[in-house]
A and B are shown apart, each in its own frame.
Chain A
Amino acid sequence: MKIVVCIKQVPATGADKRYTDDLRLDRNGVEAIINPLDEYAIEQALRLLDDGSVESVTYLSMGPEQAAEALRRALAMGGDEAVLITDPALAGADEWATARVLAAALDKLAPDVALMGMASDDARGSLVPGAVAAMRSLPLLSYGSELKVAGGEARARRLSATGFDWIAAPLPVVASVTDQVGEPRYASLKGIMAAKRKPLETWSLADLGLTADELSGAALTQVTDARAPEAKPPTERIENLPAAEAAVKIADWLAARKLI
């Protein structure tokens, strides 16, 4: 039983991020981390490794060479090996192209479960898991707060409108998990040291049998403008008032805006 976890390296939250003049995300000089939501996928995979449901965990990432750092960090948390897909033609790749490349790599790695986080922090993309499932013609178990693998099938616990369901599908599957999986573990010192010795392979588009043309110049959408949001009026504050007086002031505020 093998799991491949797809992760993405993104700029750190809170870092001074901006768009470049040619309206691409400026990744230079910004601290790069594992996409926080991918950490939950890593944690879920490692739990399945810990309890013996699966025998190996491989990490897969598509990105610039620097993304190898994110893969090493994942390996430091646990797992066996990693694969980085890097190619100049992939700069600025959109979700479809990302899914196409990951799907090709996953076909090559042929895991029982291809696992991802539910979205990426920087561009808020969330379509990659489903697109990969479509391209690979595999069932999709998405938005799981927990994943189980046993008896030739995978099950995901998914919130419903009124409670939760366990959705099941026969292996192999594509799955995504949410942050309800539980706190991702820290990389221990031994984990950090061991990560250096774990295998990390680098693949190019050619290794996947893909060409830049196929990925249609890598983007079907274009950003035509990037601006700061509308300035809001400064926050009004109510402080140091007894509760009853504060309540009156708040009610006045609501009434002035016709909210009560």
Chain B
Amino acid sequence: MSNDILFLAEFNGGAPARSAIELATGAAELAKQAGGSAVGLAYGRGAADGAASLGAHGATRVVVLGDDDRPAITYAAAAVAATREAGALALLAAATPNGRDLAAALVGSLHVPAFGPVRSARIADGVIETEQATLQGRVITTSRPAEGAPTPSIVLVLANTFTPSEGGQGSAGVTQAPAAEESAFGAATVAESHEADAKVVNLEEATVIVAGGRGVGGEDGFGPLRELADALGGAVGASRAAADAGWIPYQLQIGQTGKVVKPSLYIGAGISGAIQHRVGMQTAEHVIAINRDPDAPIGEFADLFVVGDLFQIIPALTDEIRRRKGS
């Protein structure tokens, strides 16, 4: 048993996912508190070549589980074997579908405690202690492993919980994963792959998000929102209603069943603020809501609530911002 902190590091298209970098940063922070090292479990295309670079974000060592373009869940057996061998205190996984799948496989195979998705984590009394928002954000619970629980604890981490710092130094030591048994998880294959026409931004990485809901009225309605997002250097997101209506791709849906985002600025236009959307953005640092309905629920938790017609206010705001920026 060591005081190391493991983290899952997803690679795709040859580069580390942002979650890999955030989790490396988080694992390094926790490892420092625990008196151990941050150890990455890297998988996906680019993992072999890119593993060492995780050292710049605090990883001491990285185990490469595999370097292919296949469903993340097919790396589960290798992840389990590597985790058994490592004997760490905790393992951080991204609260994304892939991260959750691997975390679930670990919990099922190893019978260890699971936490999350958490909004913060630290080491206290030699064990991991986490905070999570439950009951739709109405209660914040603090949790830790039960007395005598086995290790590692699996911790699901939301995007933007750990903030990577720029320009880190260091190269991590890279090892190959121990041999893993054949696993049924490996039977999943990509039978068909469909790319969307437009390029889709990863909302979890955006620091500014302008999101549209039912009030935007249609695909064209998102035009002014895009202009505002551009002026602010941000990305466009949407509520489930807009995604269901086909006005934007589902990758841009923010909410309980979509992306959970934590930008420093979130502007919601024509979004009523139902709980399913709220849980996807309520930890945003600053929330502005624009809605024609003065009683819209979003008005209760926004920092600034602007009552009015979004199709007049948003272009006016875009102009004003551009004017101030001198462009």
Residue ranges of A at the interface with B (Cβ–Cβ < 8 Å): 13-14, 17-19, 23, 37, 94-96, 99, 103, 118-119, 122-124, 126-135, 137-143, 145, 155, 158-170, 178-180, 216-217, 219-229, 232-233, 235-241, 243-244, 246-248, 250-251, 253-255, 257, 259-260
Contacts and interface: CB of A to CB of B under 8 A. Distances in A.
A140 B265 contact: no
Given A161-B202, A221-B144, A257-B286, A13 B136 contact: yes
Given A134-B109, A225-B141, A229-B139, 16 more contacts: A133-B185, A134-B107, A137-B184, A140-B104, A161-B251, A166-B192, A222-B143, A222-B146, A223-B142, A224-B142, A235-B303, A235-B304, A244-B320, A246-B308, A259-B232, A259-B265
B313 A246 contact: yes
B169 interface: no
Interface class of chain A by DSSP? mixed
Interface of B is mostly: mixed
A127 B187 contact: no
A104 B184 CA distance: 17
Interface stretch (B29-37, B113-121, B213-221): B113-121
Interface residues of B, number: 94
A145 B249 CA distance: 13
Contact of B138 (A95, A139, A228, A233): A228
A140 B138 CA distance: 32
B188 A141 contact: yes
A163 B140 contact: no
Interface of B: 12, 71, 73, 76, 80, 97, 100-109, 111-115, 117, 129, 132-146, 149-150, 153-154, 156, 183-185, 187-196, 199-200, 202, 208, 232, 240, 244, 250-251, 256-257, 264-265, 275, 286, 288, 294, 299-309, 312-313, 315-317, 319-321, 324-325
Contact of B149 (A131, A168, A221, A241): A221
